Amino acid sequence: MIAVHSMPSAFSAGECERIIAAIAQTPTKEALLVGQRQDHNLRNAELVWIDNVDGMGWVMERLIALVRASNVEHFDFDLREFAESPQVAIYKDTDGGHFAWHSDIGDGPVARKRKLTLVLQLSKPGSYDGGDLEIMPGAQVLAASRAQGCVSIFPSFTLHHVTPVKRGTRHSMTVWAHGPAFR
């Protein structure tokens, strides 16, 4: 099993811009953490659930295909469903946008079934400073590619964070694949 599977150009630049434009029409919600606690020391971002955005069916189809192919090739986890809407996170320099070190496996009935995490880099890398997704599968920290349209897939138990955005705005999309507990 590899620690992080990187898929460059999983989405084209034009597709990423289309998603960002569609999201801009939709009201955002302040990011709530697993368990609905709100702690700006841990995370500061706005969220849009893409199930609430019209015309995003093709996005979900692509995400499912990417997770499926990645799981066959690299992880071989027992995945059963996508039990949560993909979410777009908007990290702004003006809000100190960031996400501290965490694992995506939570205590709730759904969050506890998360097994694979997919993150899509929606923004052009030159449009913001900071905002790096870093993943710590072991003793080393791996920086995810910042390339627009690049997808990173990793086990949801893996620690990861997003460093503070120092200039501009970073958009990312996250989706989880769920299944029975690891054994």
Least separation in angstroms between residue 154's CB and ligand AKG is 10
What are the DSSP E strand ranges found in 35-127? 43-44, 46-49, 87-92, 98-102, 114-121
- Cβ-based nearer residue to ligand AKG, 77 or 91: 91
The site partner of 63 among ligand AKG, Fe ion, none (C-beta below 5 to 8 Å per kind) is none
Beta strands in the chain (DSSP E): 5-7, 29-30, 43-44, 46-49, 87-92, 98-102, 114-121, 128-130, 133-136, 142-143, 151-155, 159-162, 165-178
Q: Cβ of residue 1: shortest distance to ligand AKG, in angstroms?
A: 20
Token duo for residue 71: 């799981």
In angstroms, how far is CA 66 from the centroid of its own chain? 13
Q: Which helix (H) or strand (E) holds 62?
A: helix 57-70
Residue with the shortest CB distance to ligand AKG: 172
Asked whether position 11 contacts ligand AKG by CB under 6 A, the answer is no
Hey, which residues between 67 and 126 contact ligand AKG (CB under 6 A)? Answer: 89, 99, 104, 119
Binding mask 102-121 for Fe ion (x = CB under 5 A): --x-----------------
Q: Which of 5, 124, 160, 178 binds ligand AKG (CB under 6 A)?
A: 160
When CB distances are held under 5 to 8 angstroms depending on the partner's kind, the choice from ligand AKG, Fe ion, none that residue 119 binds is: ligand AKG
Q: For residues 53 and 38, what is the distance between their CA atoms, to the nearest angstrom?
A: 24
d(CA 88, CA 120): 9
Q: Which residues are at the interface with ligand AKG (CB under 6 A)?
A: 89, 99, 104, 119, 133, 160, 162, 172, 174
Q: Which residues are at the interface with Fe ion (CB under 5 A)?
A: 104
